[in-house]
Chain A
Amino acid sequence: MDFQYHVEGGDFTNAGSTSSEVKRMLKKMGVRPDIVKRTVVALYEAEVNIVAHAYRGDIFVDLEPDKVCITLKDEGPGIPNVEWAMQKGNSTASPKVREMGFGAGMGLPNIQNNSDEMHIDTEVGVGTTISFVNHFA
């Protein structure tokens, strides 16, 4: 089953609506609660990344009987150094942003921790595509 959702950059009121939709489907399928939780955490994080940093993006959800594959493709600034950004605590956020408790450098590591496979494709000035897979067993 394939689904597609659109995300507008800067729309914080609706951030998280895709992860909520996906959660509902996984619950209907009877996927194990801890796997539902992992998927929701990873997707929520990635979705909010688009809202916070990109201009717009699309989320593609491919639901299969044994796994869910999710791809988030955005038009945005891109990530200059993916390897560096994947390290816990690394963040480009300004001190001002950090003071408020944002930009702790946990975003990408959190997606990785809550998915079975994760892949990032990014180009500075063009956008980022993050895809991850969670298996149901």
Chain B
Amino acid sequence: MQEDFHHALKFKYDLCIGCAHCTGACPTGAIHVEDGHPRLDPNRCVDCGRCYIACPVNAIYIEQDDFQTVYDCKYPVLLMPSIFMAQFEDKIKEKTILSALYHIGFKHVFECEKSVDFLKGEMQKASDENDGLKPLISTFCPAIVRLIQVKFPVLVPNLYLMKPPLDLTALYIRKLLTEEDNIPEEDIGIFYVTPCAAKIAAIKSPATEEESPVTKVVNMNFLYSKVMRVIKQGEYQLCDDARTRFHRLSKASLNYTLTGGEASMLKEGRNLAIDGIHNVSEFLEKLEDEDIQDIDFLELRACDESCCGGILTANNRFLMTERQRKRMQKSPDEVDSEDNDLLNYTDYLAQHKRVLGHVEPRSMEKMDDDLAIAMQKMKRAFEINQNLPQVDCRICGYQSCKALSEATVKGDAEVEQCIFIQRILEHCDKMDISETMKVMTKIWGTKKTSSSIAKNLNL
């Protein structure tokens, strides 16, 4: 039995109004409505966060580790994607932000993309040496790795099994602090600032690793607010330049998190960058069909505008991208080990660059473990679906008519949940109104189906 995926997305049923917008937004059909509230299929959800964006009442939240652990930790270090800086208005200087972070309690602040200068050469090497499966697919975005596992299992062997910058930089930090600063390994806590739910899920139950080198996770919007408060209240002291290990990143490193950042690092071959999970799905479908050939490398990101569009960023994704680009203009084309001391550890990182685990296909599509039964179920689902209205109205609680027919065959739903079928059965005297009302109440709860609504409307 496969272990369930860990999910960082949770529903607050007390706030939820049962509108099912999340059901419609989900790219893997992981959410259906029962008893007036959304239910998540943990094996389908890829933590992309489309439901979080779709929810009109903020009833979906992203769990994070208790921030208090920063103060319990002897040597807390912050590891953040460089776009953390892009959330702030231009007039707030980099040094001010860093000072606020030190004031909050972090001993050092590192940017994840510090390892991109190392990764750059490795990627070109892997692409040049790849004479087998094409294209190589980046494992940078964890929502995409899971999407491929559940929806495109045929493409699992194409995943490029190199640790992403986050993991490599975390390894470097541990090495640096234990060897140069003589900090005991157990005292070091690496707090990763996440722009999205997928990174949290990947750290809590990695698809590609046995264990993550990151200790705890902090949500980006939460830390943004904390920093803003420190800045506005002027509590911090400007940090000493000598103390900070915050170094300049190269242009390519800053570009890495933006759409096209990975693909543009490869100078040879056909390398594509696609952002937005629906765009990615459309492309992977074609790739799986053999319709697209001769691509060497695919950079795929679940969010529009990549990580700047992460659901936990505190600012507009287009503005953040623009600020990141501006920062790039002021950055050096190339850096050496004097600018970026991570480059002193390339041998160590090269030894650990490959992911330890093994990515397994875990298809959500299959109807049953037994091929013969799966085939029967598939046949039955086709027959049911042919008789459904294809309106995809979601009144049955499922994303589409097709989803209802499959859930019916699996025994999770009844075809009577379709409002068209209910009307037809009433018309044929096979169901009476009280029975159909009962079905509707089971899906949508008592509140939405109460007779008092008629009274409220003076009907």
Contact = CB atoms under 8 A, between A and B. Distances in A.
B371 A31 contact: yes
A29 B375 contact: yes
Interface residues of B, number: 21
Contact of B367 (A29, A33, A63): A29
A99 interface: no
Contact of B366 (A30, A37, A41, A65): A30
B373 to A, nearest CB: 8
Contacts of B365: 24, 27-28, 30
B290 A136 contact: no
Q: Which of A1, A28, A37, A136 has the most CB of B within 10 A?
A: A28
B366 A44 contact: no
A79 B254 CA distance: 56
Nearest to B292: A16
B355 to A, nearest CB: 19
Given A28-B366, A136-B371, A33 B291 contact: no
A44 B375 CA distance: 22
Interface in A21-54: 23-25, 27-31, 33-34, 36-37, 40-41, 44
Contacts, number: 66
B289 A16 contact: yes
Contacts of B367: 28-30
B154 A30 contact: no
A64 B372 CA distance: 8
Given A37-B154, A44-B290, A27 B366 contact: yes
Contacts of B288: 23, 40
A24 B374 CA distance: 13
A1 B375 CA distance: 8
Contact of A29 (B154, B156, B290, B374): B374
Contact of B363 (A20, A27, A40): A27
Contacts of A25: 378
Contacts of B379: 1
A19 B366 CA distance: 18
Contacts of A28: 365-367, 374, 378
A64 B156 CA distance: 25
Given A30-B374, A33-B154, A16 B290 contact: yes
Contacts of A27: 153-154, 363, 365-366
A66 interface: yes
A90 to B, nearest CB: 21
B290 A40 contact: yes
B374 to A, nearest CB: 4
Interface string B354-367: 00000001010111
Contacts of B368: 30
A44 B153 contact: no
Contacts of B289: 16, 19-20, 23, 40, 44
22 contacts: A1-B379, A16-B290, A16-B291, A20-B285, A20-B289, A23-B288, A25-B378, A28-B365, A28-B378, A29-B367, A29-B378, A30-B365, A30-B374, A33-B153, A33-B154, A33-B156, A36-B153, A40-B154, A40-B289, A41-B290, A66-B371, A66-B372
5 closest residue pairs by CB, A with B: A30-B366, A65-B372, A27-B365, A44-B290, A29-B374
Interface of A: 1, 16, 19-20, 23-25, 27-31, 33-34, 36-37, 40-41, 44, 63-66, 136
